[in-house]
Chain A
Amino acid sequence: MNLRLAVRGALVTARKDIRIYYRKAPVYIFGLVLPLFLFFAFFVGRDLDLQRYFPGFLAMTIFFTSSSVGPLIIPWEKQAGNFERLLTLPVTVPMIVLGDTLAGTLFGTLISLIILGVGSLFLPLSIGLSSVLGLAALFFLGNLCFAALGVLISSPAGRVPSNVMMLSTLVRFPLIFISGIFTPLVELEGSARTLGMLSPLSYLSDGLNGVMGQETLVPIWVGMLVMAAFTLVFLVAASLVLESKAMKGL
């Protein structure tokens, strides 16, 4: 396959997604309102040490925002009749998957940077200069990983966006409860910890705890490797599923 054409296809797809889907309401409802709501439900007014839990909250924001764009795009395009047209253009299914993932990554990165900025105004966050690099890498990897998960969730979908949104909530909610958001993984024991280690989100919250000067379960770089591996699996799986379900609902 021609690499230049492949890169072009993915980048143009991402650009198109940004132009069209960043304006859609469900992206904000599922990506912004939901984590804020959870924030108020779990952290505020419970006399918790906000600084201690900020990394977890940040991980949750990254998780929700980056994975909220992907589930919308493919069903929306199938419903609107754009998807078949897209398949006639010089792009392949993996390029579409990658492009949609990049759009989700950028959305998640922007929003989580804002959250980080706001957080650092109110909380005395101590992020050393050496940790900034780690933080940047975690932001990128985390957003990429969960954007890919979002696309994977939508890949078997037909043409009804609300069905996929429901499915994505079904997949995403359990994940935040097992991933050391509300209780850091290091404080969990036994099967709870084992279960947590199966979730890619655990490695993000663990890593963010690390760069913000708290104890971690695994070294940060190990967590990054695990997230990279998950990302690869999500991308490949999404491509394979979409390849076989491309015509569903057309």
Chain B
Amino acid sequence: MADQNGSSGDDLEHSISAEGLSKSFHGFQAVDGVSFQVRKGEFFGILGPNGAGKTTTIRMLTGVLKPDQGRILIDGIDLRRDALAAKQRMGVIPEVGTVYTDLSARENLELFGMYYGLSKPVRQERATQMLKDLELHDRADDLVKTFSKGMKQRISIGCAMVHDPSVLFLDEPTEGLDVQSRKLILDRVRAMNAAGCTVVITTHNIEEASRLCQRVCIINKGQVVTVDSPEHLKSTFEQTRSVEVAFEGQVSCQELSPSCMLRVEESGDKMRIFTSDPDRTIEEIMRLRDERGLRILSLSTLGPSLEDVFLKLTEAKR
């Protein structure tokens, strides 16, 4: 049976299938042979540093940009052959694209509902529901141009969800938002996902990606570095956590116990100690301080940085 199901069975199971996507701008290869598959109902992350090609990839997947090469299937529908049917199934928050600031929150929701072909009673009901879910009902009839950034982004996500899409594409949806707006938006996205909607999210926040996503695709310089579950990538992430400390006076890193550090970088009076166990490293730093009677000028723990993760991953590949 498994043999017979072959690729068509895969296509049915996959919400998104990207095959060998490439795109160049004036000779510069922004995306270079990116392939991955996203299962139905999966929460999928695309992670990469600035300029990695995340937005370009999302633009191709959502039909904004035509790939130079490659094929895209959305729920088994070829995006090039039947763009309208494929787009009908998507909800999209582009990185820079916004809703209409000259319309009110409710007018925007209804306009997007119209574009997605919802009948009048349905779109009115969905708009009201969305406004409530996004805690915007008291501002429903105000023009979006009077909204704060977080409120704008909330209405933006509402517009992407108004037709109950089967796939959501979100390009850095929480960039620059405060904790509350971020939580509200991610809660809505998680609720959609729990109801069976496939979610693709791009971010350069590793913590956020590993918290939300079932699998993450890491891309760098337009190419896929790896696609894996956050659990599997975790050790890579953790090895790149670090503690940064500055002592008053000269201290050599040799004075710290080597068991609590993977690698040390020194710059100026600061030491950056890479470790998989920041807690132990800080204990060790305190021990040194007490023993030697030193003063600590600054002490901070740093999350995993993308650059370090890429270094690690590309090292591992070699």
Contact = CB atoms under 8 A, between A and B. Distances in A.
Contact of B107 (A5, A19, A81, A246): A19
Given A20-B102, A247-B65, A85 B84 contact: no
A245 interface: no
B117 A8 contact: yes
A23 B111 CA distance: 17
Given A2-B84, A5-B84, A19-B107, A90 B99 contact: no
A23 B103 CA distance: 11
Interface string B49-63: 000000000010011
A166 interface: no
A85 B99 contact: yes
Given A2-B85, A88-B62, A81 B96 contact: yes
Interface string A70-106: 0000000000111111011111100000000000000
Contact of A88 (B85, B94, B100): B94
Interface in A141-170: none
Contact of B64 (A2, A81, A87): A87
A91 B116 CA distance: 9
Interface of B: 59, 62-65, 83-85, 87-88, 90, 92, 94, 96-103, 107, 111-112, 114-117, 169
B96 A84 contact: yes
Leading 3 A-B pairs by shortest Cβ distance: A85-B97, A88-B92, A84-B97
Given A1-B84, A88-B87, 11 more contacts: A2-B84, A6-B84, A8-B117, A9-B84, A12-B114, A81-B96, A84-B59, A85-B94, A88-B92, A88-B169, A92-B83
Contacts of A6: 84
Contact of B84 (A16, A23, A92): A92
B97 A82 contact: yes
A8 B64 CA distance: 19
A89 B93 CA distance: 11
A65 B132 CA distance: 41
Interface of A: 1-2, 5-6, 8-9, 12, 15-16, 19-20, 23, 80-85, 87-92, 246-247, 250
Contacts of B116: 89-90
A9 B85 CA distance: 12
Contacts of A15: 114
A240 B4 CA distance: 43
A230 B103 CA distance: 34
Nearest to A95: B84
A208 B100 CA distance: 39
B92 A85 contact: yes
Contacts of B90: 88
Contact of A91 (B101, B115, B169): B115
11 contacts: A9-B115, A19-B103, A80-B100, A81-B96, A81-B98, A88-B62, A88-B63, A88-B94, A89-B87, A89-B112, A246-B64
A47 B107 CA distance: 51
Nearest to B95: A84
Nearest to A82: B100
A19 B115 CA distance: 15
